[in-house]
Amino acid sequence: MQNIRNIAIIAHVDHGKTTLVDKILHSCQLFRDNQETGELILDNNDLERERGITIVSKNVSVNYKGVKINIIDTPGHADFGGEVERVLKMADGVLLLVDAFEGAMPQTRFVTQKALALGLKPIVVINKVDKENCRPEEVHESIFELFFNLEATEDQLDFPVIYGSSKQGWMSTDWNKPTEDIFPLLDAILEHIPSAPVSEGTLQMQITSLDYSSFVGRIAVGRVARGVIKENMPVSLVKRDGRIQKSRIKELYTFEGLGKIKAQEVKSGDICAVVGIEGFEIGDTIADFEKPEQLEVIHIDEPTMNMLFTINTSPFFGKEGKFVTSRHLRDRLYKEMEKNLALKVVETESPDSYLVYGRGILHLSVLIETMRREGYEIQVGQPQVIIKEVDGVKCEPVETLIVDVPGEVAGKVIELVTQKKGELLVMEPKGDLQHLEFEIPARGIIGLRNNVLTATAGEAIMAHRFKAYEPWKGTIPGRLNGVLVSMEKGQTTAYSIDKLQDRGRFFVDPGVDVYEGQIVGEHIRDNDLVVNIVKGKQLTNMRASGSDDNVRIAPAIKFSLEEAMEYIQNDEYIEVTPKSMRLRKIYLTENERKVNAKKFA
């Protein structure tokens, strides 16, 4: 056996996974003492740093007591499950990191289930035991129950537990006895995680992720499953559908610290990056030149939601973006499909529009946000769930929704969820909160988060995961209020916003350019209202005493991209450009909207 351990880190969002990896990197003295590294070293793209979440899985390695430990950081959100499913193939064990108060959250369960099914050995790390209201013993028991319910083997149920605080930089086998460092965790990895097996025979390596370099192009990353891979070696690339392409490896790299180092050869069990193979996709196998044998193709769960992506057709088209044509949009979406396995793009009857299928609102919004930062101008329609026919019955995706709220507002949350066809299954106290579990159609979750956060003054903690396809639950009421739509193109004035404040709440400030058909606010009633928001005050040279008071305007409501995606209805678009985001009607003039009203009924 060789001195390599491959380990994936699983955790729910915000449980301290990336912080723990930072501490491991520092403890193994990867950096010089005077080197500035910052925090959250692995969350290296802007979006990940801003949102504080991991979106793309990454590899690093450290050396500890002469053993190379390859660490694979995985995303915690179920929306990025496609990322997780493929990278677990590279690991021999998993580190399950849970918060000492919250315990195992629903999205941790999703990834844990995948890991246990692959037969990986778990080590449980109960983090944040320095928090006041932590309950490490209860969390330990709940994880044992979770593993039992997920049909873990006897060996997996006999898991070691390490307690600690990755923020303070210590780990220990007993939470009442803090240590000075995190070495007890690294010792547990060496002791309990099996070393990477050496498998003799002809070469087999599955490509499980992609890297990109502007110098050499696309780089294939994966773990060598069998045999040895060498520089300059002729190989066969076995595609997912069984076709075989002949190729040659130009350069080989292994992971060392945060970077890569060049290697002459890599033996089975280690993770490496391969340069020089053309036209590969994730899931393909790099195999022997003469006798290629394919590894089992990675199976990815199907998407549950789709959205229409189309080029920007608003009157402000092309003012802010660099890439605005349908060719740009098509090329970008197909390029994304190469590395984003859970994404699917389907062409529509219109050459300017594409249906993009994804795992959920967050999955699709990260793609939209990335595109807008790259300089694309696009419009997106209302997210739609994917409906299937199972044995002749119309079925839709149903999710398990978990909400933790203060007891006094639990009733409001139950009322909101049941309006959306949710069913309450569990209600029990959890610390000073009420723990609620529902089953709810995926359609019902769209737009629910805003309402729940408003009703609970922002105190609700919500998480959901896909359960199964179940028979159609009937119609769900959409947005309760209509919208205020601009009737003119021009610049908004404080005077007109002030005069219209009793009609609803506005999304735009004074002095902003708007166009006809743009949604500028929310109406107090359930119908849409067309308003003139650009009208100025009639100026005369007479002063009217008392009526020339300063206008007092309520602050405009600003949506995040996800909130806007949950807010719009099927006759509306979100216009997304590098600098701004606007809501608009698909048909801009009132006359066109009346003519086409039946389409959206």
Going by the annotation, the residues of the binding site for GTP are 14-19, 127-130
Instruction: Report yes or no: 54 and 45 within 8 Å, Cβ to Cβ.
Output: no
Q: At 536, which amino acid appears? A: G
Q: How far apart are CA 105 and CA 435, in angstroms?
A: 12
The helix (H) or strand (E) run that includes residue 491 is strand 490-491
Q: How far is CA 583 from CA 370, 382, 559, in A?
A: 19, 11, 10
Q: How far apart are CA 115 and CA 121, in angstroms?
A: 8
- Residue 145, SS3 per DSSP: helix
Six token digits for residue 62 = 């450290």
212, burial (CB in 10 Å: exposed 0-12, middle 13-18, buried 19+) = exposed
Instruction: Report yes or no: 515 and 315 within 8 Å, Cβ to Cβ.
Output: yes
Find, among 443, 436, 437, the residue nearest to 473 by Cα. Answer: 443
Strands 513-514 and 228-230: unpaired
Strand partners, 184: none
Six token digits for residue 426 = 């569990």
Q: How far apart are CA 124 and CA 587, in angstroms?
A: 54
Tell me the binding residues.
Answer: 14-19, 127-130
Q: How far apart are CA 568 and CA 479, in angstroms?
A: 8
Instruction: Report yes or no: 439 and 398 within 8 Å, Cβ to Cβ.
Output: yes
E-state strands within 149-203: 161-165, 170-172
Q: How far apart are CA 189 and CA 124, in angstroms?
A: 11
Find, among 153, 199, 195, the residue nearest to 295 by Cα. Answer: 199
Find, among 533, 526, 523, the residue nearest to 502 by Cα. Answer: 523
Strand partners, 522: 483, 505
φ/ψ of residue 330, rounded to 5: -65, -45
| Sole residue written with tokens 């930089």 | 169
- How big, in percent rounded to 5, are the helix, strand and coil portions of the chain? 25, 35, 40
Residues 6+ apart with CB under 8 A from 454: none
| CB atoms closer than 10 angstroms to residue 501 | 14
